[in-house]
Amino acid sequence: MTLPAILTLLVACASGPALALDLGGMLQNLDVNKVLETGQKLSAATREMPVNEEIGLGRDLAARILGTVPPHPDPAVQRYVNQVGRWLTLHTERPDLPWHFAVAGTDAVGAFATPGGSVIITAGLLRLMRDENELAGVLAHEISHVVQKHHVLAIMKRARAQLAADVAGEMASQYVAKNPLVTQALLGAGMNLYGSGLDQGDEYAADRAGMVIAARAGYDPLGLVYLLTTLDSIGVADARTQLLFATHPPTRSRIDALSAVADQLGAYRGSLQNSERFAQIQGSLLQ
């Protein structure tokens, strides 16, 4: 019996009337309870995640990110970014998620999206922007990750691999007393993901989709491109960009890819007329 077949059997066993199955001698040397428990975990992590669970997972992950980089204390900054972000979400396929946005009070340059509609950008990144179009570009990129469920899918893939490894270990009668719940497996996979990054294809896809979402909302679709030129000028040697550059495709490649996409969007340049409100917010960050 191949390992996939064994795993399939275990999942079926976990999700059905397990005790009615006769596994014969195959499980003679195994801790049946552990196998069943692990099979249940695998089953739970394999099915598609309901929206309410996606939201719950995202909140837990956002709380952990904020445990490292707490929110900036200025309410005006938080309120402003929420207004820009929420407006953008109204031009996506998932406008009804409980979207909220936060500015983390750190000089590090970065942005995070968690499943279910939480987006966190750093004050360090906000300081580098020229205008609201660039802010919209970053937020739209992060929103695209949520809309396309990039993190959910990647986390579940990683969690499945971990849980399958647990089952394989059990089959070899070498099961270690490491028996996390599915939720813990998902959280662990999630935080690991924020340190290692999504698939580069997901990042390019979020760049492209974000450009369109920003344009739909009336912003200059090139806002993200302009900000990327600034990030490119900072370079990889700056410690503040360490995580950003480690988890994203080369900035120059992103600029080139987006420049090619821009041709397909025509000459639209956005309709933003109020530049003062961004300047005020950015000014308050520098105080």
Partner 1 sequence: MRFAVWLLGASIATVAVAVDETPIERGVAIRPAVVLDFPDRSGKPLGTLPPNAAVDIYERQRLWLRVKPTAGLQGPAGWVQLPDLRMGFSAPPTTATAPAPTPAAGGGGFSSFSRSVSGLLAGFQSRQSGYASGSNATIGIRGLTGGELNASSPNFQAFADIERYAVMPAQAQMFANAGGLMPQRIGYVTVAPPAPPSPTGGPR
Q: For partner 1, which is the closer residue by CB, 15 or 106?
A: 106
Is the Cβ of residue 7 or residue 228 nearer to partner 1 in the bound state?
A: 228
Instruction: Find, among 138, 174, 128, the residue nearest to 248 by Cα.
Output: 138
Q: Which residues of 201-230 are buried (b: 16+ CB within 10 A; e: fewer)?
A: ebbbbbbbbbbbbbbebbbbbbbbbbbbee
For residues 154 and 199, the answer to whether their CB atoms sit within 8 Å is yes
* Residue 80 or 175 having the CB closest to partner 1: 80
Q: Which is nearer to partner 1, 29 or 271 (CB)?
A: 271
The span from the CA of 67 to the CA of 79, in Å, is 20
For residue 123, the minimal CB distance to partner 1 (Å) is: 6
Count of H-run helices and E-run strands, the chain: 13, 3
Report, in Å, the least distance between residue 222 CB and partner 1: 6
28 with 64: CB under 8 angstroms? no
DSSP letters spanning 198-260: --HHHHHHHHHHHHHHHHHTTS-TTHHHHHHHHHHHH-TTSGGGHHHHHSS--HHHHHHHHHH
Of 110 and 137, which has the nearer Cβ to partner 1? 110
Minimal distance, residue 223 CB to partner 1, in Å: 12
Residue owning tokens 């520098």: 286
Which residue in this structure is represented by tokens 């997901």? 202
Q: How far apart are CA 70 and CA 105, in angstroms?
A: 6
For the bound state, the minimum distance from the C-beta of residue 143 to partner 1, rounded and expressed in Å, comes to: 13
Q: How far is the CB of 40 from partner 1 (least distance, A)?
A: 25
Residue 47 or 277: which CB sits closer to partner 1? 277
For partner 1, give the closer residue by CB, 4 or 266.
266
Q: What torsion do the CA atoms of 113, 117, 123, 125 make, to the nearest 10 degrees?
A: 50
* 89 contact partners, CB below 8 Å, separation of at least 6: 95, 97, 99, 117, 143
At closest approach, how far in Å is the CB of 59 from partner 1? 6
Shortest Å distance, C-beta 140 to partner 1 = 12
